[in-house]
Amino acid sequence: MEPRPRVSPDGRLLAYVHADGRADFQLVVREVASGHTIATHRVNADVAPWWRGDTLYVGQLEFTSPVEIRTALYRWRPGGTWERVPGSDRLARPFDAGSGPLMAVDVASRSRAVVELDGEGRRAVQLPEGEAWGFLAGSPSGEWLAGARHARGQWDVVAWKRDSPGEVMAVTDDAALDDDPAWTTGGDLLFTSERSGLPQILAYKMNTGSLVRVTDEPTGARQPAPAPDGSLYYATILWDGWALVHAGALELPAAGPRSRPVLARDTITTTEIRSTGYRPWPSLVPHFWIPLWHDVGTAGRFAGAATFGVDAVGRTFYFAQLAVAPAKRRVETSLHVAHQRWKTFGVDLSYAASWDSLLSRRGLLLRADSTVDTVRVTYGDVKQTAAVGGTIRWRRWRALLSARLGAELEAERLVIDRIDQGPSGLRLSRDHFNFAGPVVSVVAQHVSFPALAISPENGAAVGALYRYRWELDGPGWWSEVRGSASGYLALPLPGFAHWVLAVRGSAGVRSGPSADGYDLGGASGDPFEVVPGYVAGAGRRIFPLRGYPAVGTPFTRAATTAVELRVPLALVAKAIWKLPMGLDRVSLTAYGEAGGGWRAGEAADPFALRDLGGEVVVDAAIPQDLAFRVRVGAGVPLVSGLGISSGKARWYLAFGTAF
């Protein structure tokens, strides 16, 4: 984020954007005389401040829907209330001219128009001809306007009297990039030019028409902010990023204009242009396939293919796969489709059928020979799930809220693949289970995530889910209520990013005669798709305990709590040798967890299982733009349970964040 310095008209206050990567962008206001900071306010992105008296007008970006980011103007008297300027939608880069009205660039017109704002709304400002406008500024007297104009394939600075836009004075007319006009109290026009290679600040003397260079920064100078005493504030780049400089204005010879490159003229050919309505199908149809193969034991060895697609504007996404086990004549398939044609509402549809190999399941067998005491059977278990839902989303820069209402169908069928021990006449007492019902979930969060952060900071996230399933061919049913909450606190301790204290708690209850128990244990994370169709990592777990293995339990009530201290170790930001992979940053996490499960009617014991551990967290990218996080850690259970003894370390590998 660029500093964009601005000095108040009376010269007392300096406003600029502070961005160190450790915290959110801040609009800072300092006293020029003492250097003390008198006010700060958190801002978003593309920030452009402008003083009008003792009030700052600020242009910045903000989400207006989950799929739209728009500019708008905000008004702030340092130390007072931050409020949006009415009628400023899609306006950016505010400025004024003397005591005249506030003006801003209308980005809805592709930055071709400028409007002025007053109590009656917005009115168009008469401008010279131009393809687009960058930053503009008005002289202190209000007589002149100046702006960076794009025309004829180049950016130049032009000036004109406000009441005579047809009489344009070309301050520059060359191939160099010129921008950031600003007026001194003496009436000279400052601007940034790259005509000498690196940007430097030039001054155009309005009374003589001469051009001089007023800065001589080795790494370049830009964004001039002249003070009433004749000194100059400007931005430059040092080894660690942007810096703000305060210095006296120099008067050095300006470099000559950069000549336009001489290009060979190509033979002009006629190109036929055809305009049609938007059609998603050319980009949605499958353009590739990825081979798949996996072994499910006695259930079969499956081979097949997967593909996915997304349309050009990102409204529709699908993933599909099909695999066949010829020896068993069995099929696995999955299809997921998501469509968001509307700004705040999206729909999703999914179907999956997968096979698994299971050992004996109590209560499902009838024995032909009652004298047999021990029976061991391996099942083929095919689960079919179908779901459809609609999601409403609300989004702002650091906050989001979503609610989903859906319907689910789950069908499970069992077949005997192998009788390991027992008579040949065994048969299943029941070979199918079909359930259906609604599901509703809500998610809300408000967190910050600065550029160099290793974790969400200074915020919270909550989620809740309710699910009901009734049996379609029997009297069974079950329901579930589940919720979780997470909190993140940034600690201003040494490092390239803030240390973060993170806390999470989750609990769930399942009721009904058909309710299964919860899984407990294991490390939670995100599934990492190495290539389309091949996923690494166990995925997101409801009740993780990293010191314990993930196992199924008979407990229909469960709860876990985790506390983490996340510490930044190294900001690498380099490629790994000659591989198409970049290593971004490394951090360390120390954690403690507690959890437990119990049945209905039993005393709750949410701290029956406890563990301690640590993780090394690596953020990387393949190939530089596909970011992923890998966590390598070990947890030590403090209490025996879930098939592991206390004190025995358990190592694990996971992808994504724990929470």
**Residue 262 is assigned to a structural domain of this protein:** no
**465-521 confidence digits (pLDDT tens):** 999 999 998 899 999 999 999 999 999 999 999 999 999 999 999 999 999 999 999
What's the one-letter identity of residue 488?
Y
Q: 281 in helix, strand or coil?
A: helix
* Domains contained in the chain, number: 4
Is 535 in contact with 527 (CB distance < 8 Å)? yes
Q: What is the pLDDT of residue 622?
A: 80
Residue 624: band (very low, low, confident or very high) from pLDDT cuts 50, 70, 90: low
77, with CB counted inside 10 A (0-12, 13-18, 19+), is middle
282 DSSP 8-state letter: H
Q: Which residue has the tokens 């499902």?
A: 364
What's the one-letter identity of residue 93?
R
Sheet holding 82-84, edge to edge: 48-52, 55-65, 68-76, 82-84
Residue 345: band (very low, low, confident or very high) from pLDDT cuts 50, 70, 90: very high
| Shared-domain flag, residues 238 and 292 | no
Q: What is the pLDDT of residue 362?
A: 46
| Shared-domain flag, residues 74 and 183 | no
Q: What is the pLDDT of residue 26?
A: 98
**Residue 272 is assigned to a structural domain of this protein:** no
| Shared-domain flag, residues 638 and 578 | yes
What's the one-letter identity of residue 263?
L
Determine which helix (DSSP H) or strand (DSSP E) holds 60, and give its type and residue range: strand 55-65
Distance CA(320)–CA(582), nearest Å, equals 30
Determine which helix (DSSP H) or strand (DSSP E) holds 284, and give its type and residue range: helix 281-284
User: If we measure between CA atoms, which residue out of 354, 361, 394 comes closest to residue 375?
Assistant: 361
Residues 6+ apart with CB under 8 A from 526: 537, 539, 540, 655, 656, 657
Pairing of strands 376-395, 345-358: antiparallel
**Residue 265 is assigned to a structural domain of this protein:** no
| Shared-domain flag, residues 221 and 289 | no
Radius of gyration for the chain, computed over Cα atoms and rounded to the nearest angstrom = 32
Other beta carbons less than 10 A from residue 498's beta carbon: 25
pLDDT, greater one: 441 or 290: 441
Q: Which of 90, 125, 160 is the last residue of a domain?
A: 125
Mean pLDDT value of segment 579-595:
94
Distance CA(648)–CA(650), nearest Å, equals 6
Distance CA(508)–CA(521), nearest Å, equals 14
Distance CA(172)–CA(545), nearest Å, equals 66
Residue 292 pLDDT exceeds 80: yes
Q: 381 in helix, strand or coil?
A: strand
Q: How far is CA 600 from CA 82, 435, 508, 513, 556, in A?
A: 51, 22, 12, 11, 7
Cis check: omega of the bond before 49, within 30 degrees of 0: no
Terminal CA-to-CA distance of the chain, rounded, Å?
28
Choice among 75-84, 252-261, 317-326, 399-408 with the minimum mean pLDDT = 252-261
Distance CA(36)–CA(494), nearest Å, equals 23
Q: How far is CA 59 from CA 91, 213, 236, 554, in A?
A: 7, 29, 22, 57
Q: Which residue has the tokens 């006010």?
A: 39
| Shared-domain flag, residues 656 and 521 | yes
Q: Which residue has the tokens 């931050």?
A: 82
Distance CA(171)–CA(192), nearest Å, equals 12
| Shared-domain flag, residues 190 and 119 | no
Determine which helix (DSSP H) or strand (DSSP E) holds 482, and give its type and residue range: strand 477-491
338 alpha-carbon distance from chain centroid: 19
Is 58 in contact with 46 (CB distance < 8 Å)? no
Q: 164 in helix, strand or coil?
A: coil
Mean pLDDT value of segment 642-652:
95
Distance CA(601)–CA(616), nearest Å, equals 41
Q: Which of 125, 146, 169 is the last residue of a domain?
A: 125
**Residue 263 is assigned to a structural domain of this protein:** no
Choice among 384-388, 419-423, 467-471, 497-501 with the minimum mean pLDDT = 419-423
| Shared-domain flag, residues 401 and 355 | yes
% the chain with pLDDT above 90: 79
| Shared-domain flag, residues 162 and 296 | no
DSSP string, 403-419: EEEEEEEEEEEEEEEEE
Tokens of 531: 């290539």
Tokens of 220: 């370049």
User: If we measure between CA atoms, which residue out of 175, 155, 170 comes closest to residue 258?
Assistant: 175
Half-sphere exposure of 564 (CA within 13 A, CB side): 32
| Shared-domain flag, residues 162 and 311 | no
**Residue 292 is assigned to a structural domain of this protein:** yes
Other beta carbons less than 10 A from residue 55's beta carbon: 14
Residue 42 pLDDT exceeds 70: yes
Tokens of 41: 């306010």
Is 216 in contact with 199 (CB distance < 8 Å)? no
| Shared-domain flag, residues 528 and 657 | yes
249 DSSP 8-state letter: P
Residue 139 pLDDT exceeds 60: yes
Residue 531: band (very low, low, confident or very high) from pLDDT cuts 50, 70, 90: low
| Shared-domain flag, residues 293 and 360 | yes
627 alpha-carbon distance from chain centroid: 11
Cis check: omega of the bond before 623, within 30 degrees of 0: yes
Distance CA(586)–CA(127), nearest Å, equals 52
What is the residue range of 7's domain?
1-125
Q: 387 in helix, strand or coil?
A: strand
Distance CA(581)–CA(587), nearest Å, equals 18
Q: What is the pLDDT of residue 363?
A: 45
Q: What is the pLDDT of residue 364?
A: 52
Mean pLDDT value of segment 599-621:
96
**Residue 468 is assigned to a structural domain of this protein:** no
User: If we measure between CA atoms, which residue out of 644, 443, 445 comes closest to residue 545?
Assistant: 644
| Shared-domain flag, residues 187 and 222 | yes
Helices (H), 419-499: none
Mean pLDDT over all residues of the chain? 92
Distance CA(290)–CA(212), nearest Å, equals 62
Mean pLDDT value of segment 580-589:
93
For residue 37, what is the domain's CATH number?
A: 2.130.10.120
Q: What is the pLDDT of residue 540?
A: 92
Residue 375 pLDDT exceeds 90: no
Mean pLDDT value of segment 140-160:
96
522 DSSP 8-state letter: B
Q: What is the pLDDT of residue 76?
A: 98
Residue 367 pLDDT exceeds 90: no
Residue 417: band (very low, low, confident or very high) from pLDDT cuts 50, 70, 90: confident
**202-240 confidence digits (pLDDT tens):** 999 999 999 999 999 999 999 999 999 999 999 999 998
Mean pLDDT value of segment 521-528:
92
Question: Any idea how long the chain is?
Answer: 659
Q: Which residue has the tokens 């008579």?
A: 423
Residue 166 pLDDT exceeds 50: yes
**Residue 361 is assigned to a structural domain of this protein:** yes
Residue 528: band (very low, low, confident or very high) from pLDDT cuts 50, 70, 90: confident
Residues 6+ apart with CB under 8 A from 25: 1, 17, 18, 19, 42, 43, 44, 45, 47
Q: Which of 385, 414, 430 is the last residue of a domain?
A: 430
24 DSSP 8-state letter: -
**251-264 confidence digits (pLDDT tens):** 999 888 877 666 66
**Residue 359 is assigned to a structural domain of this protein:** yes
For residue 142, what is the domain's CATH number?
A: 2.120.10.30
Residue 379: band (very low, low, confident or very high) from pLDDT cuts 50, 70, 90: confident
What's the one-letter identity of residue 132?
A
Distance CA(632)–CA(630), nearest Å, equals 7
Choice among 361-375, 488-502, 539-553 with the minimum mean pLDDT = 361-375
